[in-house]
Amino acid sequence: MCGIVGIYSQNRVAEELYDSLINLQHRGQDAAGILTCQQRFDLKQGLGLVRDVFSKEILAGLQGNIGIGHTRYPTAGGYGIENAQPVWIGHPRGMALAHNGNLTNYKELVHEITYKKRKHLYSSIDSEVLLHLLADEVEPYGLDDGDDDNFFDTLCCAVDAIFDKVQGSFSVVSVILGKGLLAFRDPHGLKPLEMGERLRENGEKDYIFASETSMFYSLGFSAVGSLSPGELVFVTVDGELFRKRLVKKQFKPCIFEYVYFSRPDSTLDGISVYQSRMRMGQNLAKKWKTQYPNEFPDIVIPAPFTSNTAALAFATELGVRYCEGLYKNHFIGRVFIMPDKNKRSKSIRYKLTPQRTEIEGKKVLILDDSIVRGTTSREIVTMIRENGASEVYFVSACPPLIEPCFYGIDIPSRGELLAAQKDHEEICSYLDIDLLLYQSIDDLVDAVVGQSKGAVQTPCMACMNGQYITGNINEDKRIRLETERHATVSCV
């Protein structure tokens, strides 16, 4: 679940790509990269946060009015600089790509590229595989400087072949040297890809494509909607825009974007993340009143801070006080996307400081966006009890997570998921809580889909219901993918 952005502008784009990545930092903090294009590619990548990778001097050296950027959250491949994005190749023409998602037939594609086509892969990420597939599909049609209409037809044929060959999730932004900026989204629309326009004084338009809309306002872009599932959009070097939906399949966007990953000020596929989380909190409170009619907390505390919107709605619906009883240190990264359990456990105490005056002697209800491994949830409960809470209740805005995600969320195996290994009472005992409540699947779907006006019927909820929408994941493949994921993590 990375962050991607592509910009076509009348002016240099390096600084705006940087600003965009700052707005997408929450989607990945392992590595960052920017590639710009004029007569050549200029590329800068680095490990760590965006602000640590780039300086004014580095940005000044990234020339061109077309470019793409990436913040990395590794769910495939290792953690080294060789796996940073964007990735690029020079043959048959300069082509670069940044990708958000996971390919579930990655091993099969690697075998085709390396053994059948005898090509070398420099990284262990599926984004490089996508780039080679795109280049291979474009090459037979030629990449000479012909007219834009013919080249768009070439791109349509190439991307259509990718849709037929690639399984999994992928939203992509790509630059083709001397041709323009390309964006496309997988046939189920699993990963978000938003589009914006900016009208210049001369009447021409700039374009942006990004994982979220969070940077649109500050950069002066107006959101014009999402790329449809299976759609391709191409902006030529002269600013002419082409778009076409190549494949029509059932729209299944990832529901975890609304639960946790996206910023609350973003709108994805016409659905407000903030309003979704408000409805999650309201639905949870109604369920609480039904399930625990005689139990009312004194305060409701969000933990982590991504659940504050749902917690505020929950407290309002229940008629109790909302309280930030855990103060967040905003300079600590997102705990969920840290690469291992020890770092997550250690970082939670650095990130959250209990407010004893708010907690002591009270019945405290903790509202979290989800319970994944239970590591951070247990640590939070311990902190609340250490500060004198008389009772501790725990509420999750997300249903129980019982299956791994193979589409780009770091939920790598069934064995690591608390709800897949323990029943209700065992979870209460493990977390050391008095009462536990999960959101129901129906209530979560209502909170998100209710805003889509029919565009989204059923989101992807494979981690909650085991229904893998790409249809190529059986039990044997699940075990193999889990094993591969663990092998990657063990190399860190």
**Beta 171-176 vs 95-100: how paired, if at all?**
antiparallel
| pTM exceeding the 0.85 threshold for the entire prediction | yes
Q: What's the confidence (pLDDT) of residue 476?
A: 83
Active site residues: 2
Collapse the DSSP code of 242 into the 3-class scheme (helix H, G, I; strand E, B; otherwise coil) and give the result: strand
Burial class (CB in 10 A: 0-12, 13-18, 19+), 383: buried
Go through the domains of the chain in sequence order and give each one's CATH number: 3-249 (3.60.20.10), 258-490 (3.40.50.2020)
pLDDT value, residue 44? 97
Q: H or E segment at 11? A: none
Residues ≥6 apart with Cβ < 8 Å to 43: 33, 34, 35, 36, 62, 86, 88, 96
Instruction: State the sign of the Cα–Cα–Cα–Cα dihedral 31, 68, 61, 200.
Output: negative
pLDDT of residue 255: 95
Burial class (CB in 10 A: 0-12, 13-18, 19+), 140: exposed
> Cβ of 360: how many Cβ atoms within 10 Å?
13
Mean pLDDT by 10-residue block, N- to C-terminus, for the chain (492 residues)?
Answer: 94 98 95 95 96 96 97 74 93 92 93 89 92 91 70 95 96 96 97 97 95 97 97 97 95 95 94 96 98 96 90 97 86 52 62 91 97 93 96 98 90 89 97 98 94 79 93 81 64 31
Inter-residue contact 488 to 77 (CB < 8 Å): yes
Please tell me whether residue 371 adopts helix, strand or coil conformation. coil
Give dist(CA 23, CA 69) in Å, integer. 12
The SS3 assignment for 67 reads strand
| CA-wise closest residue to 309 among 320, 300, 298 | 300
Distances (CA, A) of 443 to 102, 320, 356, 438: 27, 21, 33, 10
The Cα-based distances of 138 to 91, 190, 244, 396, 403 in angstroms read 11, 24, 17, 47, 37
Cis check for the bond before 404: say yes or no (omega within 30 of 0).
no
Contact 45, 213 (CB under 8 A): no
What pairing do the DSSP bridges indicate for beta strands 231-236 and 194-199?
unpaired
Instruction: Name 345's bridge partners.
Output: none
Burial zone of 26 (CB within 10 Å; 0-12 exposed, 13-18 middle, 19+ buried) = buried
Distance CA 345, CA 327 (A): 17
CB-based contact 370:310 (threshold 8 Å): no
291's enclosing H/E stretch is helix 273-291
Q: Where are the alpha helices (DSSP H) in 352-474?
A: 356-359, 375-386, 418-421, 424-431, 441-449, 462-465
Q: Which of 130, 191, 189, 116 is nearest to 162 (CA)?
A: 130
With tokens 């977390």, the residue in question is: 431
Give the pLDDT of residue 337.
45
Contacts with 456 (C-beta within 8 Å, 6 or more apart), sequence order:
251, 253, 269, 271, 448, 449
Cβ atoms < 10 Å from Cβ of 138: 22
Rounded to the nearest 5°, which phi and psi values hold at 116? Answer: -85, -40
Strand partners, 366: 301, 394
